[in-house]
């Protein structure tokens, strides 16, 4: 059994002893702590009631976890807006739609069926920052609980926010519903038997897209490993070819990550989801600037022509941003770190190389719905096959490795000495050590795992062979440091 406590919430496998798995006791403790810190973080001087939105993906344990979370919120004197089956981005937006004080998302994202989690949101529908998350962890472990008396119990209402989310995507200026409908796209959708079967299908139908769906029963019985990686999307690739579809769309169980399959069955590669969407937005802004004789900053207003991703994401995002006159900024790994940097930069677009698209014109959260709306609009304008579109982007390949260590103290030594070994290269140490070999258009990123005594080593280069060779070189150096 596993239980992982982090600043963004708790996740774990269902069942087992309290504190070792995600049990009812753990769920109640952390939900209570969320309420307690919510009152401190967001005081109501007028004495008005607090309101929290709760949404869940279609996991087998979803109903059980939902009942415990909603019951605990009510016991804390908090009103609950139960969103039912709702994607992570839907729940994030629902907090704003409902003018709530916060939200709790019940999903373990791409983790297997035995996992579930509580992900915690503020009044903007965004994940809590590190300090707020740590305060909740501390409160949950304090063992001090004080619930509301009977006359002050909260109340539960139910509201389906699916159509509001779909409409919000269609209403985005950069999403061209008419152009997509006229293009007559046929897609195959794999929502891995979770909430994407409800909301993604509805978006595609609203945009006039013919949708063939596989694994489309939202029962939480995942038909394959739910992470949208090429090796898990064989059925989707085969169906795209068999159906003569224009593309395949894969989302994870909570619909915040997005991957495409080309019309020939080949992976578009999840790293290029964000790259493609960003290139579309930058190109659109550049064209507007040229037509109107204005600056790129004026064309992207109220946002700046800046793209943000984490240190382990592809250099291709930087390339396409700079190609169109924009700027690229790196953030530490983790969605909250990316969104924090995006706020600081007032960025036009951002996200993560795992297929996570964050578009501030919609909201500050990874949203596969927004990603699909933007991608299909781009495809409709360019009038080319998905495989042809992929070839227009800078080609990069990533090698992912790790070093297991018996002594955690070695991690700091390795990271420190790597900076010395590669001191003549561009180094970024905001999250581990990233070494950028500018001349070769290569980079390698070493960072500690938050849960295991390992160092993750990601390397990227213009060919897979070069990426593997760079990773091997760095691993060899690390092994030499270990031997001392």
What is the chain's pLDDT, residue by residue, as a tens digit (484 residues)?
578 887 777 999 999 998 889 999 999 999 999 999 999 999 998 889 999 999 999 999 999 999 999 999 999 999 999 999 999 999 999 999 999 999 999 999 989 999 999 999 999 999 998 899 999 999 999 888 999 999 999 999 999 999 999 999 999 999 999 999 999 999 999 999 999 999 999 999 999 999 999 999 999 999 999 999 999 999 999 999 999 999 999 999 999 999 999 999 999 999 999 999 999 999 999 999 999 999 999 999 999 999 999 999 999 999 999 999 999 999 999 999 999 999 999 999 999 999 999 999 999 999 999 999 999 999 999 999 999 999 999 999 999 999 988 787 889 999 999 999 999 999 999 999 999 999 999 999 999 876 678 899 999 999 999 999 999 999 999 999 988 7
- Relative to beta strand 78-85, strand 186-190 is unpaired
Gap between the Cα atoms of 430 and 433, Å rounded: 7
CB of 21 closer than 8 Å to CB of 14? yes
Q: What is the DSSP letter of 279?
A: H
Q: What is the DSSP letter of 18?
A: B
* Measured CA angle at 233 (ends 230, 236), to 5 deg: 135
Tokens of 296: 């790129």
Tokens of 10: 């708790």
Q: Strand, helix or coil at 292?
A: helix
Q: Which residues are catalytic?
A: 109
What are the φ and ψ backbone dihedral angles of 5, each rounded to 5 degrees?
A: -105, 125
Q: What is the DSSP letter of 394?
A: P
The secondary element (H helix, E strand) that includes residue 131 is helix 130-142
Give residue 47's pLDDT: 86
Q: Which residues contact 435 (CB under 8 A, 6 or more apart)?
A: 418, 422, 425, 426, 427, 443, 444, 445, 474
**In whole angstroms, how far apart are CA 113 and each of 201, 228, 231, 288, 392?**
22, 15, 18, 46, 37
CB of 481 closer than 8 Å to CB of 469? no
Chain centre to alpha carbon of residue 405: 29
For the CA atoms of 196, 198, 200, 203, the dihedral, rounded to the nearest 10 degrees, stands at: -170
Give residue 370's pLDDT: 98
The secondary element (H helix, E strand) that includes residue 260 is strand 258-261
Does the pTM of the predicted model rise above 0.85?
yes
Give residue 62's pLDDT: 96
């Amino acid at each position: 059994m596993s239980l992982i406590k982090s600043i963004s919430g708790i996740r774990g496998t269902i069942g087992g002893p309290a504190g070792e798995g995600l049990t009812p006791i753990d769920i109640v403790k952390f939900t209570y702590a969320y309420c307690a810190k919510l009152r401190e973080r967001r005081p109501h001087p007028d004495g008005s009631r607090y309101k929290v939105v709760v949404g869940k993906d279609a996991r087998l344990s979803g109903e059980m976890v939902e009942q415990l979370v909603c019951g605990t919120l009510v016991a804390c004197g908090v009103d609950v807006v139960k969103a039912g089956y709702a994607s992570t981005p839907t729940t994030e937006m629902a907090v704003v739609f409902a003018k709530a004080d916060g939200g709790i998302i019940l999903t373990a994202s791409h983790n297997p069926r035995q996992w579930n989690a509580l992900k915690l949101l503020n009044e903007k529908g965004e994940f809590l920052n590190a300090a707020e998350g740590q305060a909740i962890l501390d409160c949950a472990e304090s063992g001090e609980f004080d619930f509301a008396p009977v006359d002050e119990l909260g109340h539960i209402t139910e509201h389906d926010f699916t159509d509001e989310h779909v409409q919000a995507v269609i209403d985005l200026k950069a999403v061209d519903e008419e152009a997509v409908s006229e293009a007559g796209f046929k897609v195959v959708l794999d929502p891995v038997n979770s909430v994407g079967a409800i909301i993604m299908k509805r978006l595609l139908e609203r945009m006039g897209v013919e949708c063939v769906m596989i694994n489309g029963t939202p029962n939480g019985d995942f038909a394959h490993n739910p992470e949208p990686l090429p090796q898990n999307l064989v059925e989707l690739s085969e169906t795209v070819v068999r159906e003569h579809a224009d593309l395949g769309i894969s989302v994870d169980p909570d619909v915040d990550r997005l991957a495409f399959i080309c019309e020939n069955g080949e992976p578009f590669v999840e790293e290029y989801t964000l790259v493609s969407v960003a290139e579309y937005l930058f190109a659109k802004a550049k064209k507007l600037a040229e037509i109107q004789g204005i600056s790129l900053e004026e064309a992207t207003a109220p946002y700046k022509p800046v793209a943000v991703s984490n240190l382990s994401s592809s250099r291709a995002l930087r390339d396409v941003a700079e190609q169109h006159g924009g700027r690229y900024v790196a953030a530490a790994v983790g969605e909250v770190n990316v969104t924090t940097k995006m706020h600081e930069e007032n960025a036009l677009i951002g996200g993560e190389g795992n297929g996570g698209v964050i578009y501030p014109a919609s909201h500050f959260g990874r949203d596969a719905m927004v990603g699909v709306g933007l991608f299909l609009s781009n495809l409709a304008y360019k009038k080319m096959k998905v495989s042809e579109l992929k070839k227009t982007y800078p080609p990069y390949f990533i090698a992912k490795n790790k070093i297991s260590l018996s002594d955690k103290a070695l991690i700091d030594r390795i990271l420190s000495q790597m900076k010395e070994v590669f001191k003549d290269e561009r180094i970024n140490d905001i999250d581990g050590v990233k070494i950028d070999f500018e001349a070769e258009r290569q980079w390698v990123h070493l960072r500690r795992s938050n849960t295991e005594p390992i160092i993750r080593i990601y390397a990227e280069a213009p060919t897979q062979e070069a990426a593997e060779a760079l990773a091997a070189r760095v691993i060899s150096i690390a092994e030499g440091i270990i031997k001392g």
